[in-house]
A = this chain, B = another copy of it.
Amino acid sequence: MRYREIYQRIRDAIAEGKLVAGDRIPAARTLAAELKVARGTVDAAYTLLAAEGFLIGKRRHGTFVSPSARPRRPSSTAKSFLGTSQPPDLRYLFGAPLPLTPDLPSFDQFPRKLWYRTVSGQARKSGIPQLTYPDPLGLLALRQAVASYLAIARGIHCAPEQIVITGGYAGALSLVCRMMLRPGLRTWIEAPGYYFTKSAVELVGGVAVPISVDEEGLNVEEGIRIAAEASLCVVAPSNQFPLGACLSLRRRVALLEWAAHSGSWIVEVDYTGEFRYDGQPLQALKSLDSADRIFYVGTFSKTMFPSLRLGYLVVPLSQLSVARDLTERLYGALPVLEQYAMTEFIMEGHFGRHLKRMRTLYSARRSALISAISRVFAARLDVLPASGGLHLVARLKEDENDALIEDFAGAAGLRPLALSKMGQGTPREQGLLLGFGNLPDGEALSIVRRLRGVFST
């Protein structure tokens, strides 16, 4: 197909820095005449490039290379990224992972052979019942296994019928938002917080109200002061994203009382609650939920690996029929093979052993990253003392631009994330999220040196 050649040539020119942000490209008619192809062929190529963010059309002024299109290495155009207030481009997550990407689990130490042997074993055992439409709530055996796991690991006692198997954290949060929100209803979100949360709330017409976070976690008093009537509160009590605070007991009690009193609902996001490096993991907030106000969200993306696309939601007893009705109407059922394999992986004890190994591994990788930063940056970077999760947060000086550093680091083959992009519309702090879960052993120092090279002074 000829249009693909045109498409590819322009992409290559951008990648090689021959075309840079703001450059005007030839009118489709001119290029078509020059290449002796139909006008529609060039149009198709331009449309694709525009859809992928490489080109932008300005009405009557022509077509230009987009400011967000960037060459593979830093160039003089990098200044155009200064002062961006865009949310992070989620595309950084897709494809081969770069060092320092926040919140990726270890890929090098994941027991791939054991996992795929489990998958293949389940595939061999699959018969006709495994081919038909699966229950949109998830495989019952997996829901039972997750219920047992949650009781032991997170102090949550629930019936398997309360569990919905979802497409990761995103699937679980989307489901809760569609169940509980209506246009105009307000939701507390943590600021800074996980960028996906705001998006999920707003996609169903909900209004996200950013609530600040401090060393005790979500500022519950502030939430009650500015939005007591909110319908929903999305909170990560075990390990706040991105700052890593743990919600204090005082605030846990206040939050539960608010929800019970106002008839509001809490979404407990527990995406890395399993990983804590100073003592035992804390029990989930859900373990205290005697008033049945909490939707609990967990994911296998961090404890296993992201492309598995499995997460789980614990639904309050009173909302079970709403959950069943909506999952049937949406019919977002997941492929069953992974669900069977995950069930066996848990039941055979592989999952528990893997978690135990990963806790030790991540603790060591975290220490290695802290040492390397201290050695290379000395007091130049201020690392927050978070004791869980899969990334560190380093604060920058006030006059520094974390988004610019993120861009330059990206060009240097590293993927720290700018803290300011997690601000959810509130005043933005400058900092970097530095992932250590997937940091190769023995490479912390060389990677941190590469990061140092990105800083101007």
Chain A residues close to B by CB (< 8 Å): 1, 3-4, 44, 47-48, 50-53, 90-91, 93-97, 104, 107-108, 110, 112, 116, 119-120, 123-124, 126-136, 159, 161, 167-168, 170-171, 174, 178, 183, 196, 199-200, 203, 205, 301, 305-310, 317-318, 320-321, 324, 328-338
The answer to whether A132 and B47 touch across the interface, beta carbons within 8 angstroms, is: no
Minimum Cβ distance to chain B for residue A47 (Å): 5
* CB-defined contacts of A110 to chain B, threshold 8 Å: 131
The distance from the CB of A268 to the nearest CB of chain B, in whole angstroms, is 19
Copies of chain A in the complex: 2
Closest to A332 in B: B167
Question: Is the beta-carbon distance between B161 and A129 smaller than 8 angstroms?
Answer: no
Closest B residue to A322 by CB, please name it.
Answer: B51
Q: A178-B203, A330-B203 are in contact. Are A96 and B44 (CB under 8 A)?
A: no
A131 to B101, CA, bound (A): 14
Q: A47-B318, A170-B331, A334-B335 are in contact. List 14 more A-B contacts (CB 8 A).
A: A4-B159, A44-B159, A52-B324, A91-B328, A112-B127, A112-B131, A120-B124, A167-B333, A168-B331, A170-B332, A196-B331, A199-B329, A200-B329, A310-B335
Contact assessment for B107 and A131 in the assembled complex, using a CB-CB cutoff below 8 Å: yes
A308 to B310, CA, bound (A): 15
Neighbour of A132 across the interface among B119, B127, B306, CB < 8 A: B306
Contact between chains at A51 and B134 (CB < 8 Å):
no
In the complex formed, the residue of B with least CB distance to A304 is: B131
Contacts of A129 in B (CB 8 A): 95-96
Answer whether A133 and B52 are a contact pair too, CB < 8 Å, given A90-B328, A333-B167, A334-B167.
no
Q: How far is the CA of A336 from the CA of B48 in the complex (A)?
A: 24
- A307-B324 contact, Cβ under 8 Å, with A47-B317, A119-B123, A132-B107: no
Contact partners of A107 in chain B: CB under 8 A: 128, 131-132
Nearest B-chain residue to A166, judged by Cβ: B332
Q: Is the CB of A93 within 8 A of B123?
A: no
How far, in Å, is A133 (CB) from chain B's closest CB? 4
Whole-angstrom CA separation of A331 from B1 in the bound complex: 30
Q: Nearest Cβ in chain B — how far from A156, in angstroms?
A: 14
- Is A307 within 8 A of B132, CB to CB? yes
Cα distance, A309 to B301, chains bound together (Å): 19
> Would you give 17 A-B contacts (Cβ < 8 Å), ordered by A?
A44-B317, A47-B320, A48-B159, A48-B161, A48-B317, A52-B324, A94-B135, A112-B131, A116-B120, A116-B123, A119-B123, A130-B307, A132-B305, A132-B306, A167-B332, A200-B329, A309-B335
Choose among A123, A126, A133, A203 the residue with the greatest number of B CB atoms under 10 Å from its CB. A133
Complex: A147 Cα to B25 Cα, angstroms: 29
Tell me the nearest residue of chain B to A204, going by C-beta.
Answer: B204
B307 and A335 contacting across the interface, CB-CB below 8 Å: yes
Chain B proximity of A324: nearest CB distance (Å): 6
Q: Is the CB of A51 within 8 A of B321?
A: yes
Q: How far is the CB of A56 from chain B (nearest CB, A)?
A: 10
Q: Which of A119, A203, A205 has the most CB of B within 10 A?
A: A119
Report B-chain residues with C-beta under 8 Å of the C-beta of A307: 130-134, 333, 335-337
> Which residue among A90, A129, A159 has the maximum number of chain B CB atoms within 10 Å of its CB?
A159
Q: How far is the CA of A170 from the CA of B133 in the complex (A)?
A: 12
Are B97's CB and A126's CB within 8 A? no
Q: Residues of B contacting A305 with CB < 8 Å?
A: 131-132
A50-B321, A168-B331 known; A132+B336 contact, CB < 8 A:
no
CB neighbours of A135 from chain B (8 A) = 94-95
B128 touches A96 (CB 8 A): yes
Q: Which of B93, B112, B136, B328 contacts A133 (CB 8 A)?
A: B93
Contact with A94, one of B133, B171, B203, B329 (Cβ below 8 angstroms): B133
* A47 to B416 alpha-carbon distance, docked (Å): 47
Residues in B with CB closer than 8 Å to A90 are 328, 331
Q: Which residues of B contact A203 (CB under 8 A)?
A: 178, 329-330
